[in-house]
Amino acid sequence: MTINATLLGQTLAFVIFVAICWRYVWPPIIAIMQEREQRITDGLEAAKKANDSLEEAKLNSSAELEKAKQEAAIIIEKANQRASQIVSDAQTKAETEAEKIITSANKTLEGEITKTREALRKDVSEIIISTTEKILEEEISKDKHEKIIIEAAKKI
């Protein structure tokens, strides 16, 4: 094989082409590729962080939901206790009022019974006095005696 000027010219042109590419074309291409690789890496990291954040948010939300359920259960239990207490207090108050009313009614009834007894005693006394007066004023026969008793019984 013979080396001639064409081969040397082509070699020189190729070396110059490679040098120009190496100097002016290759660095921007490498920079673009590195930048693209960096963006992909950053995107993957951001996606991983977002995924991790999502998992953490799910855990936090489930924990918060559980905590909220527990607090709601506590609030409901307190409300039920308060309702029971209110019902118990109302029942106690009603029983107390009922006892007062019954006591008052008993006192009133006893007073009425006493008044009725006194009136009955007074009426019986008057009947006895009147009957005695009639007996003392007249002679008593068996028929008159029965008649007086019957009249006295009718007045009672």
At 62-94, the pLDDT tens digits run: 889 999 999 999 999 999 999 999 999 999 999
- Averaged pLDDT of the chain: 86
Quick one: pLDDT at residue 120? 82
pLDDT confidence tier of residue 40, bands split at 50, 70 and 90: very high
Give the tokens for residue 1: 């094989």
Residue 124 CA to residue 116 CA, distance in Å, equals 12
Place of tokens 């998992």: 55
Region 14-20: mean pLDDT is 95
Is 127 in contact with 156 (CB distance < 8 Å)? yes
Q: State whether the Cα torsion 97-102-107-111 is positive or negative.
A: positive
Place of tokens 């009313």: 101
At 92-150, the pLDDT tens digits run: 999 999 999 999 988 899 998 988 888 887 777 777 777 776 766 666 666 776 777 77
pLDDT confidence tier of residue 11, bands split at 50, 70 and 90: very high
Residue 27 CA to residue 93 CA, distance in Å, equals 95
The larger pLDDT score, comparing residue 38 to residue 138, is at 38
